[in-house]
């Protein structure tokens, strides 16, 4: 199942099949299935989160403006959540903000597009 999801989330990533076996040993963790299933249930509001982290959830609901310089990278081929045509996130930023939609890139941006990832970091550092 994980291999299928890996493929669906980054359908145009040519190195995906050769990289998958490198991450597969993580699935041998005894609580892998429980943690992953709970994560999805929580994300879609079918399960409560960790009560110790509730204060963070509450702070996030207030959505304070983000003033730090930001470059948002989005994979144009992301099978989990493709970048919408209209950038709805821009309203949350008061500082320098730029969204870069990367053609031919899926969900795993740092591994699928390392050059674009580093370029964004350097652009932020250069101001």
CA-based nearest residue to 97, from 65, 62, 64: 65
Domain limits at 24? 2-30+63-126
Instruction: Please give the pLDDT value at position 73.
Output: 97
- Count of structural domains within the chain: 1
Is the whole-model pTM more than 0.75?
Answer: yes
pLDDT for 117 beyond 90: yes
Residue 117 located in a structural domain = yes
pLDDT for 63 beyond 90: no
Q: Tell me the average pLDDT across 35-58.
A: 91
Instruction: Please give the pLDDT value at position 98.
Output: 96
**Three-class DSSP category at 97:** strand
pLDDT for 102 beyond 90: yes
Q: Tell me the average pLDDT across 71-94.
A: 93
pLDDT for 57 beyond 90: no
**Three-class DSSP category at 120:** helix
| Segments of 5-125 assigned E as strands | 70-75, 97-102
7-26 pLDDT, tens digit each? 999 999 999 889 889 988 98
Residue 107 located in a structural domain = yes
CA-to-CA distance for 104 and 124, rounded, in angstroms? 23
Residue 37 located in a structural domain = no
Residue 45 located in a structural domain = no
């Amino acid at each position: 199942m994980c291999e299928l999801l890996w493929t669906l989330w980054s359908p145009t990533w040519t190195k995906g099949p050769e990289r998958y076996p490198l991450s597969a040993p993580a699935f041998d963790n005894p609580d892998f299935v429980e943690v992953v299933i709970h994560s999805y249930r929580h994300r879609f509001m079918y399960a409560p989160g960790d009560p110790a982290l509730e204060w963070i959830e509450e702070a996030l609901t207030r959505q304070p403006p983000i003033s730090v310089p930001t470059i948002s990278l989005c994979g144009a081929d992301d099978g989990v959540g493709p970048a919408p045509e209209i950038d709805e996130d821009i309203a949350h930023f008061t500082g320098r903000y730029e969204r870069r939609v990367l053609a031919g890139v899926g969900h795993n941006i740092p591994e699928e597009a390392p050059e674009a990832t580093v370029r964004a970091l350097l652009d932020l550092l250069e101001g």
